Amino acid sequence: MVQYRRNYVAGGTYFFTLALHNRQSSLLTDHIDELRFAFKATMEKMPFEIDAIVILPEHMHAIFTLPEGDVNYSSRWRLIKSLFTRQLIKKGVALTRNHRGEYNLWQKRFWEHTIRDKDDMNHHMEYIQNNPIKHGLVANAIDWPYSSIHKRSP
């Protein structure tokens, strides 16, 4: 098995991509309140800053900045994914289990990239902003309701 190496920078800023196991699903946007709950509860337990985020039906992109001295983004994502899954089960959403008894909701891994500088940050912010357009969900980024673009000043 290939050893996956993650980059850890204390207090760093990171770009992430996470996806549902079923790439035809729309659970993330269909259950946006449950996803918001998972983020809020995680941020209360393990603080971090969301610099930008976009939630699409079956995947999401986000930029997080961790507190000074903290490198533990993996535990934050594990908690967000777990809380969202539990919220869906609580609502009665039928989720299947794999041969190990785990729910087949999320892809196992997530993709991360350490933001290097201001240009890199701007590039990834633009990517997040334009992702709903790229996927044919809207013609204008401002029209996608599940994006941090609405919190950015013009």
Digit-by-digit pLDDT tens for the chain (154 residues) are: 556 688 999 999 999 999 999 999 999 999 999 999 999 999 999 999 999 999 999 999 999 999 999 999 999 999 999 999 999 999 999 998 888 888 999 998 899 999 999 999 999 999 999 999 999 999 999 999 999 998 753 3
Catalytic residue among 8, 14, 127, 146: 146
| pLDDT at site 150 | 81
Q: Report helix, strand or coil for 74.
A: helix
Phi, psi of 29 (to 5 degrees): -85, -30
Residue 1 CB partners (closer than 8 Å, separation 6+): none
* Predicted structure pTM score: 0.93
* 146 flagged as catalytic: yes
Question: Do the beta carbons of residue 75 and residue 46 sit within 8 Å?
Answer: yes
pLDDT for the residue 1? 52
As a whole number of angstroms, the distance between CA 53 and CA 63 comes to 6
